[in-house]
Structure 1
Amino acid sequence: METSVGISPLSFRLSSPQGILAVFTAFLVIISSYTIFNAIYNVYFHPLSHVPGPKLAAASWIPYARRALKGNLVPWIKRLHEQYGDVVRLSPTEVSFISGDQTWPDVYGFRTGKHKTPPYLKDRSWYSVPLNGTYSLIAADEVAHSRMRRNLSHAFSDKALKEQEVLVQGYVDLLTHRLHEKIEDAPKEPIDIVKWYNYATFDIIADLTFGEPLHCLRDRGYHPWVTLVFQAAKVTSISAIIRKYPILEKISKSLIAKEAIMKRVEFFKLSTSKVTARLEKDTARPDFMTHIIRNQESNEKRMTRAEIESNANLFLVAGSETTATMLSGTTYLLLKNPEIMKKLVEEIRGRFKSSSEITFDEVNKLDYLIAVLSEGLRYYPPVPTGFPRVVPPGGDRLSGYYVPEGTSVYVSQHAAYHSARNFAEPDSFIPERWLGDERFVDDKRASFQPFSFGPRNCLGKNLAYAEMRVIMAKVIWNFDIELVDTTADWFDQKVFALWEKAPLMVRLKPVQRA
């Protein structure tokens, strides 16, 4: 006897085309209702609803994410600050400031005196989880950061910098030597000065970190690692946006090429192997690892192997690309402003009779060079967005606005440095603003912090200053520089955490001396 299987009328109806359509429609209604409700809440009832900014940005991450993924975030943020003022809400949970004279100490400063609130911790949602699971200085928690900084500070001290000068100068001299060779081989052929600055800065930081260079200058070309660094930075930037906007996680494979992700893994493995090789060397050479190894004897400073590896990765990116970016941008600004270039040439060539006289100590006496480089950093900051921090429990009042706990806040550097609220003639390149010119007496110079501020400011700031001053001085002492394309705007660049620089084609001519 056969047994019939019963099918409920409801199951039958749901499995029909009409039933499927009804379920799908209901799902869309629920999602749409939630999205609309959430947007209304974000705009009108969220604790940040009183902060100025476009309503679409307050309602959803979409306006921010769309521009960030396209690399167009920097001009958008600048326009919003011009429209809304010092404080702008860029997304449902993110606020940008250009009132740097107040926000740097309030958010990034030491927690003493009036700043007795808990520390503003790094917003880790903007940083990829390290492949070894251990954060470097840049995103470590307060305890780990303090311990690692005590260890690493010796490698970046004034004493260490003096010991490292011979190594650094060797690569700067090799840079100018290679440029002379290139001119001799092809006197009229333009060169991409961006590449050559990168060759030098990557060789320097690799040698200081791993005990050997990448041989970019020796081989007159990029080491494969350099390309990996560029790709890793871009992947990290895009990944942060995807994590911020969960819907994008579903389509992340189309936004980030699998090959690019694998390049990041490859880079980390190569870096780790270089760390191993350096730690196995029995040498007292004046590089970073010498100081790290020496400080391993102290319980208060000792770093784990994973921390050493993560910080080595950080050094290679932070100590190379940013310096090369600054040099490239300042070179372009000098070429677009020949009167300023003329003054700088007169200062450098009038002071030194030989390239060997251009030392770390001597370039610190070149007032106009220092002003030029400061203005270059203001006009074209290597990190143009901000260093995100999370408002601590209890919230805080920043630049006149109450900002609730958990909000991501930062000083948007490019927008701050190009705002008339902070600098007179902000879109002009005028080194005299740093030399006491009365036109700029009201400039809010305290808002200018290109290496960040407070206990987490850039550990390698002094090395970066020494490097950029010596490189710029020796290049200008050796060569007359001519811009090839005088019509294009080289600053028309996208940003993925760092500037995506185009080639800067120039012609070099050796300086003729009597």
Structure 2
Amino acid sequence: MENSKLSFVAPYLVLGSILYFIAVVIYRLYFSPVARFPGSKLTAATGWIETYYDVFKGGQFTFQLQKWHEQYGPIIRINPDEIHVSDPDFYDVAYASSAPFEKMPKWLDRFGLPGAVQSTVQHELHRSRRMTLNPHFSKKSISNFSWFIQQRMDQLCDRLLREYKGTGEAVTLNDAWGAVTADIIINYCLGFDYNFVSYPGFVAPFTKSLKELALGIHVAGHFPWFLKLLQSSPDWLVGLLNPGMKPVFSFQNEIKKQIIKIKELDHEKQSTERHKTVFTDILGSNLPPQEKTVTRLQQEAAGVVGAAIETSKTTLSVTSFHILHNPEILRRLTTELREASFSDPEKPTWSELEQLPYLTAVIKEGLRLGYGVAQRLPRISKHKAIQYDNYSIPPGTPFSMSSYIQHTSSVFNDCFAFNPDRWLTTAKVASAPGREEKSLDRFFVPFSKGTRWCLGQNLAWAQFYIGLATLFRRVDLELFETGPEAVSAAREYFVPLPPPETKGVRATVR
């Protein structure tokens, strides 16, 4: 009897589902507030197109956006709800420093860190969390920590000269830079030192696990239930299914222990530390108690550390390749470093290195082609429409831009060429005929802009100046079986990645 009832109802359920799907598609195509925006009708009808390019095509959605812009123009609809803009001049509007923009709520769990400042949706909550962290990442605070950056770079160079010089054995610079940047950010933010730079081949299980995490970002973003399932499972079970994640679990447990330890320290003892940790700042702030829970602080620390390692490692690897790939760039850089006058010839300070024009130009070009966070960064204006040309983006509608598309726009002549000289001229450029000419720096966005610009910007600059200057002053490197494909942006997994078959930026020590 029940089977007959089910067989009677089933066709109606199927028919109802089909009619509902048709109604949703018709609404999205013709009646949605963003129905009049240009773009593919297929992407307007369903978000599965984005999932297809991100998950099943392997991080290709960002590059597909560029193709759609070439076809449909500078402003397009990229899914049923979101608008994307490819216009270098619009970046200052999309990421205005005075605008109280919010993030997309559906991206809250994209990294599995909903309590981290980088995931925070609401503007005011983000502002309060960010204000607590900002002093910790000020230029003065980072300068006081530059001794550790120099020490870790000296340790890296000592190993290269001791273990690789004249042997013909190649070192993978991606791994070396990953170890250094991980040591720096973890020590600065959390107060403990794993000394990853001492690991064989500079390959540490933790930094290797971070790469695996990055490769799963799109699955987690499009199927958040899967990430929540993993997070709710016992560590031993996830470790059994994916042994490579064990170092991440160990790191999270270390964070938890560190939080509890700092909570138990009295204020007087904390003030005697060589530098305050992120936890010290947050726990001593005026944030409400729910902002100081162990879970939220774990997420905050994991978010800061994970983002900093991958972006810095990528930029340093890209920059190192192009320096070594172009003998003239290498010659000019080493000549400038060799002939510059420093207060301590062995260990120039960050502020002294900032005065070197060619080193600065090399770093900026490395940041341009490293792209920072390559994925688009959606924003929402809750109460005010955003105007672009003849289009008005309705309040509450997500709109976004991408540093990859920005840094490969026509503003940068021969955009894929590594050309530090572009930063040594004072000439201004226009993004299109008839538009106002601006300094090239106005279009330079590796750390984004606005109220949500990269928290670790100063730490990144310090690493780039001290790291590259120390390496190329002390070590004579030569590329080993490495071509431009090793630093090409072929996939987007939060940061740009080269094709999977590449082996990284490899070099020998002469």
Whole-Å separation in 1 of the counterparts to 2:376 and 2:215? 16
- Which of 41, 53, 56 in structure 1 is aligned with 2:42? 56
| Counterpart contact for 1:52–1:87, Cα < 8 Å | yes
The residue that corresponds to 2:260 in the other structure is 276
- Which of 93, 98, 106 in structure 2 is aligned with 1:105? 93
Residue 430 of structure 1, CA deviation:
1.7
The residue that corresponds to 1:293 in the other structure is 280
The residue that corresponds to 1:309 in the other structure is 298
Task: Tell me whether 1:414 sits opposite 2:398 in the alignment.
Answer: no
Whole-Å separation in 2 of the counterparts to 1:47 and 1:298? 42
The residue that corresponds to 1:508 in the other structure is 508
Whole-Å separation in 2 of the counterparts to 1:495 and 1:361? 33
TM-score by length of 1: 0.83
The equivalences for 1:24-423 within 5 A come to: 24-69=10-55, 70-111=58-99, 119-128=100-109, 134-139=115-120, 141-184=122-165, 187-220=167-200, 221-243=202-224, 259=241, 267-277=251-261, 282=269, 284-289=272-277, 293=280, 296-297=283-284, 299=286, 304-306=292-294, 307-351=296-340, 356-420=346-410, 422-423=411-412
Q: CA RMSD in A?
A: 3.3
Whole-Å separation in 1 of the counterparts to 2:504 and 2:96? 35
Aligned with 1:468: secondary structure? helix
Task: Tell me whether 1:462 sits opposite 2:442 in the alignment.
Answer: no
Task: Tell me whether 1:489 sits opposite 2:473 in the alignment.
Answer: no
Whole-Å separation in 2 of the counterparts to 1:175 and 1:497? 27
| Counterpart contact for 1:60–1:92, Cα < 8 Å | yes
| Counterpart contact for 2:173–2:507, Cα < 8 Å | no
Aligned with 1:109: secondary structure? coil
After the TM superposition, which of the residue ranges 151-160 and 165-174 deviates more from structure 2? 151-160
Residue 266 of structure 1, CA deviation:
5.6
Whole-Å separation in 2 of the counterparts to 1:36 and 1:463? 51
Taking structure 1 as reference, are residues 499 and 177 closer, same or farther at Cα in structure 2, changes over 3 Å only? same
Aligned residues: 480
After the TM superposition, which of the residue ranges 191-200 and 94-103 deviates more from structure 2? 94-103
- Which of 473, 496, 500 in structure 2 is aligned with 1:499? 496
Whole-Å separation in 2 of the counterparts to 1:181 and 1:48? 61
After the TM superposition, which of the residue ranges 197-206 and 483-492 deviates more from structure 2? 483-492
CA deviation profile, 1:232-257 (whole Å, cap 9, x unmatched): 344443222225xxxx979x99xx99
CA deviation profile, 1:420-461 (whole Å, cap 9, x unmatched): 2x3322222222221116595757542322212122212221
| Counterpart contact for 1:372–1:431, Cα < 8 Å | yes
Aligned with 1:409: secondary structure? strand
Taking structure 1 as reference, are residues 265 and 124 closer, same or farther at Cα in structure 2, changes over 3 Å only? farther
The residue that corresponds to 2:449 in the other structure is 453
Residue 325 of structure 1, CA deviation:
0.8
Taking structure 1 as reference, are residues 148 and 325 closer, same or farther at Cα in structure 2, changes over 3 Å only? same
Whole-Å separation in 1 of the counterparts to 2:64 and 2:326? 27
AA at the equivalent of 1:363:
L
AA at the equivalent of 1:323:
S
| Counterpart contact for 2:214–2:493, Cα < 8 Å | yes
Whole-Å separation in 2 of the counterparts to 1:262 and 1:327? 25
Residue 276 of structure 1, CA deviation:
3.2
Aligned with 2:78: secondary structure? strand
Bigger Rg, structure 1 or 2: 1
Q: Unpaired runs of 5+ in structure 2?
A: 431-436
Whole-Å separation in 2 of the counterparts to 1:480 and 1:272? 42
Q: Unpaired runs of 5+ in structure 1?
A: 1-6, 112-118
AA at the equivalent of 2:84:
S
Taking structure 1 as reference, are residues 35 and 182 closer, same or farther at Cα in structure 2, changes over 3 Å only? farther
Aligned with 1:402: secondary structure? strand
AA at the equivalent of 2:506:
V
Whole-Å separation in 1 of the counterparts to 2:171 and 2:152? 19
| Counterpart contact for 2:371–2:496, Cα < 8 Å | no
AA at the equivalent of 2:376:
G
Residue 370 of structure 1, CA deviation:
1.2
CA deviation profile, 1:77-133 (whole Å, cap 9, x unmatched): 22222222322211111122222432333444213xxxxxxx221223223278786
| Counterpart contact for 2:96–2:451, Cα < 8 Å | yes
Residue 346 of structure 1, CA deviation:
2.2
Whole-Å separation in 1 of the counterparts to 2:198 and 2:21? 57
Whole-Å separation in 2 of the counterparts to 1:120 and 1:332? 37
Whole-Å separation in 2 of the counterparts to 1:486 and 1:449? 28
Taking structure 1 as reference, are residues 81 and 380 closer, same or farther at Cα in structure 2, changes over 3 Å only? farther
AA at the equivalent of 2:74:
D
Taking structure 1 as reference, are residues 130 and 506 closer, same or farther at Cα in structure 2, changes over 3 Å only? closer
Identity of aligned residues (%): 23
CA deviation profile, 1:135-169 (whole Å, cap 9, x unmatched): 33542633333333232222122321221111121
| Counterpart contact for 1:433–1:440, Cα < 8 Å | no
Aligned with 2:376: secondary structure? coil
Taking structure 1 as reference, are residues 84 and 265 closer, same or farther at Cα in structure 2, changes over 3 Å only? farther
Aligned with 1:311: secondary structure? helix
TM-score by length of 2: 0.83
| Counterpart contact for 2:479–2:507, Cα < 8 Å | yes
Residue 12 of structure 1, CA deviation:
7.1
| Counterpart contact for 1:105–1:453, Cα < 8 Å | no
Taking structure 1 as reference, are residues 413 and 459 closer, same or farther at Cα in structure 2, changes over 3 Å only? same
Taking structure 1 as reference, are residues 12 and 101 closer, same or farther at Cα in structure 2, changes over 3 Å only? closer
Whole-Å separation in 2 of the counterparts to 1:242 and 1:130? 11
Whole-Å separation in 2 of the counterparts to 1:269 and 1:179? 32
Aligned with 1:423: secondary structure? coil
